């Protein structure tokens, strides 16, 4: 049996190779502190679980749902955006229910591009963006996210031919892997850039709830004109620790939302209704658990950053997300350093190279274990004498 050319073009799953290395080390009986992945470590809040349980016991949820999702979930998404960001949405035409935003990000090039068209991706960036490139058989070019520019793209530096041929661009703030955030001024520049060059913008707002130092992350849709040029994707995975539930939504430009709905009409028959009802409970219920979660991540961030600086590792504290982006010491590539830490310190991290060419020279750490384990991980690294201690 031969695979299709599309399947053969799919990129190697970056995190799969990391998991394989970590599992091998664990099987050897080693105490591995795994900071390499982005899987939330806290449980889904109890009121959301109870909403799922109650809905699952209702025979009506055992039937096929509406193809484009329960109206009450789309209404809840609209109400959530109005409350959190002051953005008014038409639930019927400006909200699409997704099987997690990864599915939406991968299927969108199939909706908006023809074979051979070009899309723009951030470098470093979420590796699974490339899956959509392969499945749609389109071309892509990257734009660098550099520390000196706050890990934001410099639109003035985009080559003229790149701006001319690109039809779709992905952004992601708070950013994976760098932990950088974007402000209103940046998104205003983005809307202007998109309109001038007729480029559709997709803002991956996966970490939209997770901002630090009292600063709430900015929604792209807060900017006047954003709906004219693009959409935003919001997942419940991070905000409510619902990664395994696979539920999210896209909001914004009605033509793009219709394109997503149309392709999903042919791929799915929407999500299990009980999961959709639980998502309604998450979006419309008490948000105390979200505030507590962000406080937890901020405490972990502060603990981790202080410990790194104590061993002489000069790092920048992330402004959002639950990741830290750390420079690799001289003499190592990012992959060599990640392998070195796993072998010599029993600490697993993600090599920056896996996020793109401009990820070289960095590693990504997930703040997804408790503070004591984070300190222990840094203590182990400190014993390798790679940095000048204070």
The predicted pLDDT at position 388 comes to 78
pLDDT in tens, 197-248: 999 999 999 999 999 999 999 999 999 999 999 999 999 999 999 999 999 9
For residue 259, pLDDT beyond 60: yes
Per-residue model confidence (pLDDT) at position 37: 86
Please check the confidence at residue 13 and state whether its pLDDT lies above 90.
no
Give the pLDDT confidence score for residue 214 in this predicted structure.
94
Question: Stretch 177-199: mean pLDDT, rounded?
Answer: 98
What pLDDT is recorded for position 389? 63
Contacts of 43 (CB under 8 A, 6+ apart): 49, 241
What's the pTM value of the predicted model, to 2 decimals?
0.96
Q: Show the tokens assigned to 364.
A: 């990504």
Give the residue-averaged pLDDT of 181-188. Answer: 98
Work out the pLDDT band at 182, boundaries 50, 70, 90.
very high
Q: In 194-275, where do the E strands start and end?
A: 200-204, 230-235, 248-252
pLDDT bin (cut points 50, 70, 90) of residue 269 is confident
Give yes or no for residue 390 having a pLDDT over 90. Answer: no
Q: CA–CA separation, 129 vs 202, rounded Å?
A: 11
Q: What is the tens place of the pLDDT at every residue in 282-331?
A: 999 999 999 999 999 999 999 999 999 999 999 999 999 999 999 999 99
Work out the average pLDDT over 121-141.
96
pLDDT in the model for residue 87: 98
All domains of the chain in start order, with CATH: 5-44+288-382 (3.90.1150.10), 47-284 (3.40.640.10)
Which has the closest alpha carbon to 178: 157, 149, 219?
Answer: 149
- The token duo for 155 is 């639109």
Q: Give the integer Cα–Cα distance in Å for 321 and 38.
A: 10
Please give the mean pLDDT across all residues of the chain. 96
Whether the Cβ atoms of residue 85 and residue 223 lie closer than 8 Å to each other? no
Close Cβ partners of 380 (under 8 Å, ≥ 6 residues apart): 33, 345, 346, 347
Q: Which residue has the tokens 């959002």?
A: 320
The band of 375, judged by pLDDT with boundaries at 50, 70 and 90, is very high
In this prediction, residue 15 has a pLDDT band, given cuts at 50, 70 and 90, of confident
8-state DSSP, 210: -
Tell me: the pLDDT tens digits for 25-62?
A: 999 999 999 999 889 999 999 999 999 999 999 999 99
- Encoding tokens for residue 77? 């998404």
């Amino acid at each position: 049996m031969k695979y299709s050319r599309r399947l053969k073009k799919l990129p190697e799953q970056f995190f799969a190779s990391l998991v394989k290395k970590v599992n091998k080390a664990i099987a050897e009986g080693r105490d591995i502190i795994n900071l390499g992945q982005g899987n939330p470590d806290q449980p889904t809040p109890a009121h959301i679980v109870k909403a799922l349980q109650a809905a699952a016991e209702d025979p009506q949820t055992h039937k096929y749902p509406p193809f484009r999702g329960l109206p009450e979930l789309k209404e809840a998404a609209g109400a959530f955006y109005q409350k959190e960001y002051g953005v008014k949405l038409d639930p019927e035409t400006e909200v699409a229910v997704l099987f997690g935003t990864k599915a939406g990000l991968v299927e969108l090039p199939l909706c908006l591009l023809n074979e051979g068209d070009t899309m723009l991706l951030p470098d470093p960036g979420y590796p699974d963006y490339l899956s959509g490139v392969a499945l749609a058989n389109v071309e892509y070019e990257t734009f660098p996210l550099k520390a000196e520019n706050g890990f934001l793209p410099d639109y003035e530096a985009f080559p003229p031919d790149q701006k001319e041929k690109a039809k779709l661009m992905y952004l992601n703030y708070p950013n994976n892997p760098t932990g950088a955030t974007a402000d209103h001024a940046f998104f205003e520049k983005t809307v202007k850039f998109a309109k001038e060059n007729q480029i559709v913008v997709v803002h991956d707002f996966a970490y939209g709830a997770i901002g630090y130092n009292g600063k709430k992350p900015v929604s792209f849709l807060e900017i006047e004109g954003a709906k004219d040029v693009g959409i935003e994707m919001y997942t419940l995975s991070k905000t409510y620790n619902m990664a395994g539930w696979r539920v999210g939504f896209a909001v914004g430009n009605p033509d793009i939302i219709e394109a997503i709905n149309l392709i999903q009409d042919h791929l799915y028959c929407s999500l299990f209704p009980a999961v959709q009802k639980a998502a309604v409970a998450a979006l419309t219920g008490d948000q105390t658990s979200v505030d507590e979660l962000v406080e937890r991540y901020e405490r972990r961030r502060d603990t981790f950053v202080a410990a790194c600086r104590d061993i002489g590792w000069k790092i920048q504290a992330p402004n959002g997300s639950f990741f830290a982006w750390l420079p690799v010491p001289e003499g190592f590539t990012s992959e060599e350093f990640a392998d070195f830490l796993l072998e010599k310190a029993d600490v697993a991290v993600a090599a920056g190279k896996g996020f793109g060419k401009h990820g070289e020279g960095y590693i990504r750490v997930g703040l997804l274990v408790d503070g004591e384990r984070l300190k222990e991980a840094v203590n182990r690294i400190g014993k390798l004498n790679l940095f000048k201690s204070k």
